Amino acid sequence: MTNELNELATLAIVAAERSFTRAAAKMGVSQSALSHKIRRLEQRLELKLLARTTKSVAPTAAGAALLKDLAPALEQINRALDSARSNRHLPAGRLRIIMSRSAAAMVLLPRLAAFADAYPDIVLDVVTATGPVDLVAGEFDAGIQLGEYIQKDMVAVRVTSELRLAAVGSPLYFSSRQIPQTPKDLSKHRCITLRLAGGPYRWEFEKGGKSLTISANGPLIIDETHLVIQAALAGVGVGLVYEDQVADDIAEGRLIRVLEDWTPPIPGFFMYYPSRQHQPAALAALVNMLRFSK
């Protein structure tokens, strides 16, 4: 199919120029290469398509009929190619992005109105999922993920500062239970566990150079931090979520934070994508809008 399209496009250019010399110069190839393509096409179709003299070239009746039928298709191909090229230079088109709901709420939504105003011709097709995702296999243009989960061969651009986790429970829950003083005390508590792609998230703590990883147990395993927060507010148990997500709840007394001195910063969210080469203008615009700056 590729060879045939090439030969048909060559036929159209030679017929339009009425000259192998001018057509070869326009296409940047030799006259002999053009002649070879036309002969190969004529042999395959068993038709004479161009009448050649020492002074001119013109389509035969069969060649003119073929070119007439081909003209709309060739024009459509040219329009499609022009449209594809414009995506490289103009911020327009659809971008498929994957991220967690937490990333969408913390990174994308606060800047989405400004982005939509600046780039009205870009459509963001957002899919939410928890845990690492293969962008190429999923046919995504980019993703937003915690830095620790991004594959080494990806381009990663920071979109938040460092984050901290917060272990929280409701006043109702703690009214009949002791406040945990160390991560090991969580074994006596009901924990609300976040499920990632590889299984339940193991709670990691650190203090004074000492690290502890806890396999939290409890009545609920769920796949979204916003639901962990709702369960904690309802008195189900202790949840581990992003500090920024519960700052207001802690300040207004709806949640009690525990083990604060055991939760050091984590790298934060990054936008990631497979390659810098031939980056669409729409993706470059989104990266620039979301890029974190101090």
Q: Give the predicted TM-score (pTM) of the model.
A: 0.68
For tokens 């993706």, the residue is: 283
CATH number of the domain located at residue range(s) 2-89 in this protein: 1.10.10.10
Q: Does domain 93-162+268-290 have CATH number 3.40.190.10?
A: yes
* Segments making up each domain of the chain, as ranges: 2-89, 93-162+268-290, 165-262
Question: What pLDDT score does 152 carry?
Answer: 85
Question: What pLDDT score does 78 carry?
Answer: 74
Question: What pLDDT score does 239 carry?
Answer: 96
For tokens 């010399």, the residue is: 21
- pLDDT below 70 — which residues of the chain? 1-2, 54, 81-89, 197-198, 276-278
CATH number of the domain located at residue range(s) 165-262 in this protein: 3.40.190.290
CA distance 246 to 141: 31
Question: What pLDDT score does 89 carry?
Answer: 61
User: Do 2-89 and 93-162+268-290 have matching folds?
Assistant: no
CA distance 228 to 128: 16
Give the closest residue to 62 by CA, choosing from 52, 80, 81, 49: 49
